[in-house]
């Protein structure tokens, strides 16, 4: 017992020493010298030993899955909100539908695996896997009902604009004839009817496919037969077929259902019903036992294709016998796993209609500006060297003329010796890959760390990895057991008498399409110390050897980042006791890690003000007297998907800003390679401060989280007001105009 007590006392002194030393190094308290002994006296006894709240109590934590579904309610609200343009409202319907598909594939699939394995571990909020599935199903059914109601309202408003999805029985005979001819020429050859009877095994049903279940029989026969037909929707076969030259559409499945005589001539069609299945996407194997990682991932993809089904969706009115038959064949619980949809199945396909060219029914056009410092055609490396660092804000500033330009010029600059980068997600036709390939052809050393296990992008990444290897690029797949989620590029260039490292570190993927839809930040810099850290990072990624690697400025997960975040939160407690103005602000996608939540609770109990801008999952409950009454949590949902991760600590006046690839999630902090990078130049921290302040003041797109986990949307008193996305667009455009005026004023007079 005495040994244990000494050990505990030693650990406490070590923690106090670490925090106090951190405070000393940061030159806190606005220039005043603070004695370490004074700071140590202010440390709470072991940070929570004598606290009025038990931070292990499940009641202080919200459920990850339920809070993510709550986020989708906020997304759905954009479809319900009359202030949103009509086709944008339709877009949000499609987004929610796609999100729920992925939720079943990833989260429900994983929970069902836990149930099947007999796992009894409780979540931080005290729920079993079975409880979570039950509660999620109730939430999802309610969201689906709201979604259908919103869709009907939007369709009625679109019809007023002469944009409508027609019913087959409303078509004229001429339109039916033309559709039948189109169908015969363009769809009919693709169809493969499959019988369901004792002589034929139940057919394979592909994930997220839309299917017809046809009941038919020979004339005058008493016995019916069942046939399944897949609706062949893909990139070349649209779900919504245009009728004539206007904006009238008919669903492909309706055309098929009303022309079944082509497939079954002479047969009596008794019924035709729609269904759709969702398969589990959790098929990851043990990477440690794999001889070839790429073969393992390819095997996983094949297994995912045949993975167990976790959801059956059926159109309303399906014959109860057919419903039961499908549930039985697909090994589902008919009472819980079958979702009857009263309207349109697979609403994610509505993305097709959101591309219609009706400017007044869309958001005002947004064209990302060229960053003011990157507007000229000078060598980009000279620009970065003179600036020291450049902060990029996407989609307000162009990805093409910043990040892609950075790589394009690196590929052709004769002084560039090598390029290294990480690649988590990108598009199949990526200009990033083109630039890397060109660099390799130009004799530069190019090394890319490709994350093959990026969920739902595995096939794309395998294809791109093979393409890069064929071009002579050194491709590696990261560290065994860890996903490489950091976003880093290093260009090594011969400058004057030595090599200099030029870097891009970002919060978003190297994906040109999402860079126009997601809000992210990044930094272009030639900071020598950061460059040395990034070199260590790539040496770790390509070898897996972690021991004794030292990083001066970067914080890396899984080894350092979580510890650093918690220490900085604890340091803010100490500093607050001296300065009284403690402030922590996070802008992240998710707050899920229990240790980080507990640290924030401790800070709030100490009086530190905490602002959390959290897009979706948030386990922390704000506004609980004595526990979290200094915490406010807001979620911003609007035109762009909030994706940037920014961390701020007031630190007694010696402010610290960081951008990161990581959210405050257990998987990010403990099972991925992530990077948190300090942003130090004052002119750049002012830009990040503007991002925080704009979101926190948002009166159009912001939702305030209540202590029970519910959200209330902010509404301006007069019903007007711009959201933070529109304000940031306007400010980016103003920066551009101000820079152009500045240039003109500098021109010498003739």
- Which are the catalytic amino acids? 485
Could you tell me if 542 and 475 are in contact, meaning their C-beta atoms sit under 8 angstroms apart? Answer: no
C-alpha torsion 125→130→133→137, nearest 10: -110
Could you write out the DSSP letters of every residue in 201-258? PPPP--TT-EEEEEEEE-TT-S--EEEEEE---SSSS-SEEEETTTEEEEEHHHHHHT
Structure tokens at 125: 């909020």
Residues 6+ apart with CB under 8 A from 624: 60, 707
Distances (CA, A) of 27 to 35, 148, 584, 629: 12, 57, 17, 29
DSSP code for 363: P
Peptide bond into 395 cis (omega under 30): yes
| Burial class for 179, CB neighbours closer than 10 Å (0-12, 13-18, 19+) | buried
- CA distance from start to end of the chain: 88
Number of helices (H), then strands (E), belonging to the chain: the values are 21, 27
Residues 6+ apart with CB under 8 A from 226: 195, 196, 197, 213, 214, 215, 322, 325
For tokens 């990033």, the residue is 432
DSSP three-state, residue 216: strand
Maximal CA-CA distance, the chain: 98
DSSP code for 43: S
Q: What's the angle, vertex CA 619, arms to CA 581 and CA 567, rounded to 5? A: 45
Structure tokens at 411: 């590929």
| Burial class for 739, CB neighbours closer than 10 Å (0-12, 13-18, 19+) | middle
CA-based radius of gyration for the chain: 29
């Amino acid at each position: 017992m005495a040994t244990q007590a000494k050990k505990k006392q030693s650990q406490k002194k070590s923690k106090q020493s670490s925090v106090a030393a951190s405070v000393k190094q940061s030159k806190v308290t606005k220039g005043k010298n603070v004695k370490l002994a004074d700071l140590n006296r202010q440390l709470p006894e072991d940070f929570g030993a004598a606290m009025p709240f038990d931070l292990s109590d499940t009641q202080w934590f919200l459920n990850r899955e339920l809070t993510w579904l709550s986020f989708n309610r906020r997304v759905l609200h954009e479809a319900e909100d009359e202030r949103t343009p009509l086709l944008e409202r339709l877009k949000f319907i499609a987004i929610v539908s796609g999100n729920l598909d992925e939720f079943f594939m990833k989260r429900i699939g994983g929970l069902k695996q836990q149930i099947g394995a007999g796992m009894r571990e409780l979540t931080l909020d005290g729920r079993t896997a079975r409880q979570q599935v039950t509660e999620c199903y109730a939430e999802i059914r309610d969201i689906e009902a709201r979604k259908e109601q919103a869709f009907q309202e939007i369709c009625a408003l679109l019809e007023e604009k002469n944009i409508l999805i027609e019913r087959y029985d409303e078509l004229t005979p001429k339109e039916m004839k033309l559709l039948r001819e189109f169908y015969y020429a363009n769809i009919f050859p693709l169809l493969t009817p499959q019988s369901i009877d004792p002589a034929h095994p139940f057919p394979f049903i592909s994930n997220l496919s839309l299917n017809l279940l046809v009941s038919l029989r020979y004339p005058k026969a008493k016995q019916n037969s069942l046939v399944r037909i897949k609706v062949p929707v893909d990139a070349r076969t649209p779900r919504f077929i245009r009728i004539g030259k206007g904006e009238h559409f008919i669903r492909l499945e309706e055309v098929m259902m009303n022309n079944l005589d082509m497939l079954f001539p002479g047969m009596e069609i008794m019924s035709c019903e729609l269904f759709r299945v969702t398969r589990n996407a959790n098929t990851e194997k043990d990477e440690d036992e794999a001889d070839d990682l790429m073969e393992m991932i390819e095997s996983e993809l094949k297994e995912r294709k045949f993975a167990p089904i976790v959801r059956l969706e059926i159109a309303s009115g399906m014959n109860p016998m057919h419903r039961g038959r499908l549930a039985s064949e697909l090994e589902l619980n008919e009472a819980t796993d079958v979702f009857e949809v009263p309207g349109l199945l697979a609403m994610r396909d509505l993305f097709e209609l959101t591309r219609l060219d009706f400017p007044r029914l869309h958001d005002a056009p947004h064209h990302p500006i060229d960053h003011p410092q990157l507007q000229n055609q000078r060598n980009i490396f000279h620009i970065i060297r003179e600036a020291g660092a450049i902060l990029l804000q996407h989609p307000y500033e162009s990805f093409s003329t910043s990040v892609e330009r950075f790589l394009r010029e690196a590929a052709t600059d004769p002084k560039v010796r090598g390029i290294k980068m990480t690649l988590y997600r990108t598009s199949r036709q990526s200009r990033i890959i083109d630039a890397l390939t060109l660099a390799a052809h130009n004799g530069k050393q190019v090394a890319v760390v490709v994350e093959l296990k990026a969920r739902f992008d595995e096939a794309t990444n395998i294809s791109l990895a093979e393409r890069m290897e064929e071009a002579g690029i050194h491709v590696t797949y990261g560290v065994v057991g860890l996903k490489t989620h950091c976003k880093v590029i290093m260009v090594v260039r011969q400058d004057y008498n030595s090599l200099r490292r030029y870097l891009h570190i970002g919060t978003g993927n190297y994906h040109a399409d999402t860079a126009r839809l997601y809000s992210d930040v990044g930094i272009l810099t030639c900071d020598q110390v950061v460059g040395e850290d990034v070199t260590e990072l790539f040496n770790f990624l390509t070898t897996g050897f972690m021991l004794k690697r030292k990083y001066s400025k970067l914080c890396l997960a899984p080894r350092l980042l979580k510890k650093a975040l918690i220490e900085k939160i604890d340091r803010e407690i100490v500093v607050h006791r001296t300065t009284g103005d403690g402030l922590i602000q996070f802008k992240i996608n998710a707050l899920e890690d229990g240790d980080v939540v507990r640290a924030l609770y401790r800070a709030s109990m100490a009086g530190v003000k905490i602002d959390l801008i959290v897009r979706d999952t948030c386990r922390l409950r704000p506004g609980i007297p004595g526990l979290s009454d200094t915490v406010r949590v807001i979620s911003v949902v609007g035109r762009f998907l909030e994706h940037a991760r920014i961390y701020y600590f007031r630190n007694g006046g010696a402010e610290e800003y960081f951008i990161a690839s990581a959210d405050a999630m257990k998987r990010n902090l403990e099972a991925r390679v992530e990077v948190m990078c300090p942003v130090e130049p004052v002119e750049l921290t002012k830009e990040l401060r503007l991002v925080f302040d704009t979101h926190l003041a948002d009166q159009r797109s912001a939702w305030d989280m209540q202590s029970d986990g519910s959200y209330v949307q902010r509404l301006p008193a007069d019903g007007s007001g711009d959201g933070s996305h529109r304000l940031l667009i306007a400010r980016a455009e103003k920066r551009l105009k101000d820079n152009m005026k500045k240039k003109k004023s500098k021109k010498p007079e003739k």
